[in-house]
Structure 1
Amino acid sequence: MWRRGVVVAVLAVLTALLMILHAQVPNRIGNLGSLMETFLPWLGVLVPVLLVAALVRRSATALIALLLPTVVWANLFGGLLIGKSGVGGDLTVATHNVNAENPDPEGTARKIVESGADVVALEELKASAVPTYEKALGGTYKYRSVQGTVGLWSKYPLSGSRPVDIRMGWTRAMRSTVMTPQGSIAVYVAHLPSVRVKLHAGFTANQRDDSADALGEAIADERLDRIVLLGDLNGTMNDRSLNAVTSQMRSTQGAAGDGYGFSWPAAFPMARIDQIMVKGVEPKSSWTLPRTGSDHLPIAARIELSE
């Protein structure tokens, strides 16, 4: 009973160590650390698998060892299962990567309007589809600004709208001041470069990492105290390579969400790579919206602007 299941016990300890020491997994080899951190909560799936193996082996050693990854996972991610959504808030914001190949942009826009958001950011806007989104959203959102492949629609006036250079060679980020009844806030919209997993190159995230650094610099230089970032960052809050951004701002999902809020892929969400992040304001609630014609789920949050 005690001698059986040593391999299962070792795997349990290794799983716990990976979760505890994920920041020590090097990125030098194929950005392996960032890849693991993108799907870090899913390491918990190994626990029930190893539990079955321990029961089959009737191993007390393995069962005791499994307590370690169970406790570590609960400490890291268990809190996300507790409902944190509150009431109140002054402003509802939403963001959605609409997918350039979306077969139903009009339907997608209609679902965004149904969310009740006051400010909406859209990413991966195809030039030929922009008029469709403008027409479908125009009745609800009087003010808009489209910069390259990202855009911002608002019920409140916009000013100072401009592209933000994230070192890509074309515009996939922007900044605007939204003049709400509670005062002005800086809103950034960003779509960081896509990442892929390739056998010969590993996790191809270097361009995304460079863009994240540039976005972090732009946010650090922002003069307004209240900042909201909306967009597809192609990375999670756990990914160390987004530290230039995540070290400055809070995730509305982590602070006021219910569950993990995974947003991609829409058919079976496995990671929250679409983000609503804030600085100088208080998140009250955060949630995902119903699926559209995109491969991402839209997400929304309610925030408190009043001091």
Structure 2
Amino acid sequence: MTKEQRKTETCKQLLDTFYASPRTTKVEKLSFSGVGHRDVYNITAPFRYDGEEVILGRVEERDSEFSQVFFFTYDNNHIWTPREHTHTYNLQDPCWTIIKGELIIGGVEVITAADNPEKIVSWVTQFYRGFQIDSLCHFSSGPGTMKDIRLIELADGRVGVFTRPQGARGGRGQIGFTIIDSLDELSEQTFNDAEMLRDQFVPEEWGGANEAHLLSNGHVGVLGHIACFDILGNKHYYAMTFAINPETCEKTPMKIIAARTDFPIGPGKRPELEDVIFSGGLIRSANGRAVLSVGVSDAEAYQIDIPDPFIEYEQFD
């Protein structure tokens, strides 16, 4: 990984590079039952638990932002159904990781106005931990209005923390990073004090980390998103990756790895969200491929088989 300074690239420039290198993909839409007529989107990557494959998904009415996070398991009919006797969480955009053998679940809680329970005025990322899905306990909350907080166990056992400051410090949304010795040190101060990674987004655009992977060289591969508005106010979200050396915070340039055009035309939550995909998680395979789980247009869930975007990052010392 080099310290060479590179000009920050825009969504359009990254997208031009992405489309200039066609790749072979395989796309699968995920089917769900047991949630009524609600949409399921912004899913996590699957993980194995108690002999079952499990994912978390955001479950929501098409005309609402008030959602629940469900644990889903895969049945013999290739349908994802809510895991039996399992607690649901009043959260958005779930994530998970394993730290010291413990399952860590996160999601975004919306905060409503005191005089109007239908008006969302803020949001807070909440974290739960435990060794069993059925006995997770809340242990940490992020600062107000901060989404896209992600945790990872590093090679030396410490915990890497990715943040997303906004406003005076982070504009529309930057990525921050810090290291703590253990989950016991996770606090609002930790999130606020994280060093912001510079030169990743131009001021008019934004992004965040969605999942972190420990690579074979001890660096961290980051799966995230980069986003922008067009002149009509429509949002455009793309899946991206980069890598960071956790000891020095040196990082690779970002690259887009998937776009809305990879998926079939389908419904969207609102017209301005048509060109949106939200990276949920990625499973690497031994054959140089990876399966990316995404939410599409804030209404559907897909998985797409792509070349493993992290292989190139493992070549660095």
TM-score interval w.r.t. the shorter chain?
0.3 to 0.5
Question: Which structure carries more relative contact order (alpha carbon 8 Å, separation 6+)?
Answer: 1
TM-score w.r.t. the length of structure 1 is: 0.35
Decide which structure has greater helix share: 1
Higher strand share: 2
Q: TM-score, normalised by structure 2?
A: 0.34
Q: Which has the larger radius of gyration?
A: 1
